[in-house]
Chains A and B, each alone.
Chain A
Amino acid sequence: AQSVTQLGSHVSVSEGALVLLRCNYSSSVPPYLFWYVQYPNQGLQLLLKYTSAATLVKGINGFEAEFKKSETSFHLTKPSAHMSDAAEYFCAVSEQGGSEKLVFGKGTKLTVNP
């Protein structure tokens, strides 16, 4: 069965600094990988997804993530944090050819300091 581990329940960065949110997955078959974001008092929305095309995936708002099979990782990055990036970020995995369900990590809350 697939699972996701997000290292760091809280991450704090300064405005303009690099954002790095870590995600490691476990899957017995090739995975589909997703990052979702939940802004304060809003519903979850898709940030980006990996579906076995390019390993470097670009998403909305300047975020990107790189699929590294050897490290079973799908870390989320953004070169320069903006105050509006403050939110909770969730990594998720589903299995190609396996269960239909999408399994989420516990989330990382990003704080951006002025």
Chain B
Amino acid sequence: GAGVSQSPSNKVTEKGKDVELRCDPISGHTALYWYRQSLGQGLEFLIYFQGNSAPDKSGLPSDRFSAERTGGSVSTLTIQRTQQEDSAVYLCASSRGDRNEKLFFGSGTQLSVL
């Protein structure tokens, strides 16, 4: 597609369940980022991929969070045993790879943990 695609757009889950969030970056973009956006907290960096490797996963809040990227394209962010504090908008972005390149953002997944 022409832009970064994220699915689902909305996810409601019960506390303790696992969730998977998907990101389809722009074709040919080697860099892929996951951010979390909470009200009043701005964008919190979670993890960065260059190709299929994750050189920086320093932002993952706990070991309940993991992410992978396959084929240098699609990425999945998995949250295990969800907690209410995980409720947020999860944003994915991609770029052509250099650190001065602009990021193209998806519309996000609104996660609500009840």
Contacts and interface: CB of A to CB of B under 8 A. Distances in A.
A34 B106 CA distance: 18
A11 B35 CA distance: 24
Contacts of A90: 42-43
> Main secondary structure on chain B at its contact with chain A?
strand
Interface of B: 31, 33, 35, 40-45, 48, 50, 55-56, 58-59, 91, 93, 99-100, 102-103, 105-108
Interface in A67-114: 90, 92, 94-96, 99-107
A102 B33 contact: yes
Contacts of B91: 43-44
A47 to B, nearest CB: 10
Closest 4 CB pairs of A and B: A106-B42, A104-B43, A46-B102, A44-B105
Contacts of B105: 43-45
A92 B56 CA distance: 17
B41 A100 contact: no
A55 interface: no
A103 B45 contact: yes
A29 B5 CA distance: 33
Interface string A20-35: 0000000000001010
Contacts of B93: 44
Interface centre among A6, A92, A102 (most CB of B within 10 A): A102
